[in-house]
Structure 1
Amino acid sequence: MPEMPEVQGLTAFLDDRAVGRTITRAAVSAISALKTYDPPIHALQAAEVTGASRHGKFIVLSCGDDLHLVFHLAKAGWLRWYDELPTTLIKPGKSPIALRVALDDGAGFDLTEAGTKRSLAVYVVRDPHDVPGIARLGPDPLDPSFTRDVFAGLLEGKRMQIKGLLRDQGVIAGIGNAYSDEILHAARMSPYANAGKLDDAEIDRLYAAMQTTLAEAVAEASGKPPADLKDAKRRGMQVHARRGEACPVCGDTVRSVFFADRSMEYCPTCQTGGKPLADRRLSRLLK
């Protein structure tokens, strides 16, 4: 799933390549992806793209102050850019393409989604905050106002595991499964730690790990075209999606915990006092 660093990379790319261009066509080929009807999708035709911005894991292409194309790539979506947009006809239901946007210089992009579970979402709105997912977002962790004390305040009284809190978009915007694994590994913290019971030293460690991990990932994504962003993300991972490999910090074997639709990765030596966590489908901890 694209998370904040990759989405920021895509946003920066669109800011460079799409802003100032006029949309000549916007066509939805997966009707389930379009979540709004007013304004209609064809309202984008002949609209000039005036800005590109990121809200959590949402990308917003603004066309003036009162028309915005918003999309969320979900788990298996991606943006495919073309300097010369193909002219082939897209057949609904026969292609991974959910949306095609053509620009007046002949360039454009497709939003694609792999697999059978369709979660990619497209909105055309007058205000980005008309999108429910944007309206409920918590603060951005790389915003200058997101200080250590602000972060500590978000943890206070939370009776949930820290892994789940980091992934909760209503608490902190932009972090998903992959970067929560990376942040917790950098902070030397169990994913099952109780968020509301962290002491000051643990909060300091976790906040620093969050800032460093995300800032480095955003820097790595900066300036890369969409086709290169996925590989850049994989190369930067220390534990996520590296089950069975050696931890780059201590050399222990990276382990996984499997859930219904995802897994998390961690290092027992670095994060759980050497004790492997059990597959949550069976039991909480190995005895």
Structure 2
Amino acid sequence: MPESPEVQALAEEVGARLAGRSFADADVLEFRVQKTRARPLSSLVGERVDRVERHGKLLDVAFANGAHLVVSLGRHGWARWGGADAPESTDASEKTDASETTGALEPASAPTAPDPAEPPPPALAALTFDDGSTLELTDAGGWVSLGCWVVDDPHDVPAVAKLGPDPADPAYDRDDFDRAFGTRRKQVKAVLQEQESIAGIGNAYSDEILHAARVSPVVHAAALDDDERDRLFAATVEVVREAIAARRGIRIADLKAAKVAAMRVHGRAGDACPRCGDEIRDFTFASTTAQYSPTCQTGGEVLPLRDGGD
């Protein structure tokens, strides 16, 4: 699932290329991606792009007439340049959810090389602009998770309206963090991924944050002591902001591979923890696979493979 650092880099590249350009054509190959049927993507033809922004994990293409094209990339969605700018080989970074991470620490390995036998994910919509640029919106999943809305205000999109404070925002502070966690009897990994509480973090970055903070993914927020809360707040801000800085300037075809390469624990089950040397372990959390270091995070306890995620 794309998370805030990669979506921020995507927004910056798309904005730098398309700001000032007019929308020339919309080719929607999968009707289910259009969530505002009364205002299809084609209703924006002729309008000029003003800027491109990010809200949590969502992309917002703002037009000069006040309209917004909001794109939710869902679990397996991404974007790529098409037409003459189409990549020569498959973007291997399109293929993963279980192997993504970053953090306040250095990358663990180089990006995985593309597999030429793996077909590229299908483009469900292609957006063409007056300079010939084509932005393809893809979805590599078995079900359509990509979604597009044409609205007057991005907050008209429910997923944007519900977003909590974003740790990438310079104004994000300890009060925002404490409101999210409070004394809730909910596992901290679940709180980190709860978009209403903290915007932009998913499975990969929550693993990285918890590892950096040396906090168990299954401990309840109410059970955190003051030192653990301090470490978790610091890690939340540092991991997200440093990942955004690290992704900046990487072309969008390479962003997901760069994310995979930067992971310290997420997607690295069986490897040695880069801090303590213990074996990184898997556990299942809310229908996804997550990773942690027993020595660093759970006092040596190996978590059951399957967890309820409460």
- TM-based fold match above 0.5: yes
Question: 4+ residue runs of structure 1 moved beyond 6 angstroms?
Answer: none
1:85–1:109 CA contact under 8 A, matched in 2: no
Q: 1:212 to 1:260 in 2, by over 3 A?
A: closer
Q: How does 1:49-68 map to 2 (within 5 A)?
A: 49-64=49-64, 66-68=66-68
* Secondary structure of residue in 2 paired with 1:185: helix
Q: 1:141 to 1:243 in 2, by over 3 A?
A: same
* Residue of structure 1 equivalent to 2:89: none
Q: How does 1:1-287 map to 2 (within 5 A)?
A: 1-64=1-64, 66-82=66-82, 84=84, 96-259=122-285, 261-280=287-306
The runs of 5 or more residues in structure 2 that have no matched partner are 87-120
What is the rounded CA distance, in whole Å, between the counterparts of 2:214 and 2:81 in structure 1?
38
Q: Which amino acid aligns with 1:186?
A: A
Query: How big is the shift at 1:26?
Result: 1.4
1:68–1:127 CA contact under 8 A, matched in 2: yes
The runs of 5 or more residues in structure 1 that have no matched partner are 87-94
What is the rounded CA distance, in whole Å, between the counterparts of 2:65 and 2:198 in structure 1?
26
* Secondary structure of residue in 2 paired with 1:84: helix
* Secondary structure of residue in 2 paired with 1:258: strand
The normalised TM-score by structure 1 is 0.92
Which structure exhibits the higher relative contact order, with contacts defined as CA atoms closer than 8 Å and separated by 6 or more residues? 2
Query: How big is the shift at 1:210?
Result: 1.0
1:38–1:125 CA contact under 8 A, matched in 2: no
Q: 1:65 to 1:272 in 2, by over 3 A?
A: farther
Select between 63-72 and 244-253 the one with higher mean Cα deviation: 63-72
2:167–2:241 CA contact under 8 A, matched in 1: no
Query: How big is the shift at 1:259?
Result: 4.5
Query: How big is the shift at 1:85?
Result: 6.0
1:97–1:111 CA contact under 8 A, matched in 2: yes
1:96–1:114 CA contact under 8 A, matched in 2: yes
The normalised TM-score by structure 2 is 0.85
Aligned residues with identical type, % of pairs: 46
Residues 211-231 of structure 1, C-alpha deviations (whole Å, 9 max, x = no match): 111111111110111111011
Kindly tell me the number of residue pairs found equivalent between the two proteins: 275
What is the rounded CA distance, in whole Å, between the counterparts of 2:234 and 2:285 in structure 1?
28
Q: Which amino acid aligns with 1:81?
A: W
2:183–2:222 CA contact under 8 A, matched in 1: yes
Q: Which amino acid aligns with 1:118?
A: V
What root-mean-square deviation, in Å, do the aligned CA atoms of Structure 1 and Structure 2 show? 1.7
Query: How big is the shift at 1:65?
Result: 5.1
What is the rounded CA distance, in whole Å, between the counterparts of 2:271 and 2:12 in structure 1?
33
What is the rounded CA distance, in whole Å, between the counterparts of 1:146 and 1:218 in structure 2?
15
Select between 23-32 and 33-42 the one with higher mean Cα deviation: 33-42
What is the rounded CA distance, in whole Å, between the counterparts of 1:25 and 1:191 in structure 2?
46
* Secondary structure of residue in 1 paired with 2:177: helix
Query: How big is the shift at 1:33?
Result: 1.1
Query: How big is the shift at 1:34?
Result: 1.0
Q: Which amino acid aligns with 1:102?
A: T
